[in-house]
A = this chain, B = another copy of it.
């Protein structure tokens, strides 16, 4: 499976999770290729809106570029959404991170397989920020 298909499959899986938990959730068309700063998926439940950049990783590290994170931040501020990064390492559950909780490298952001994030269930029960 190509890296792109793998990413889209992971996004679809997450979208099903949201709908199955009573949230409305959409995948953004052309995210990554858009001229505008857009996240991969957007979910809402009347009280909260989550903008999520999604990554599926088969390694130990998942890097995120400054531009991706900058776009996530800009979209979320303008739209009025909470900004989250969702990472699913192989054979592990989704974990979610606020931008300020991501690790930094010299020039990028990083999540390691061992980093403890917020689980999907806990993500849904956060109070509005």
Hey, which bits of chain A sit against chain B, CB under 8 A? 15, 19, 22-31, 36-38, 42, 44-47, 49, 75, 78-81
Contact = CB atoms under 8 A, between A and B. Distances in A.
Q: How many copies are assembled?
A: 2
A81 B48 CA distance: 11
15 contacts: A23-B79, A24-B38, A24-B78, A26-B36, A28-B29, A29-B30, A44-B80, A44-B81, A45-B79, A45-B80, A46-B78, A46-B79, A46-B80, A49-B79, A49-B80
Nearest to A38: B26
Nearest to A19: B36
Contacts of A27: 28-30
Nearest to A18: B36
A27 B38 CA distance: 10
A16 B38 CA distance: 13
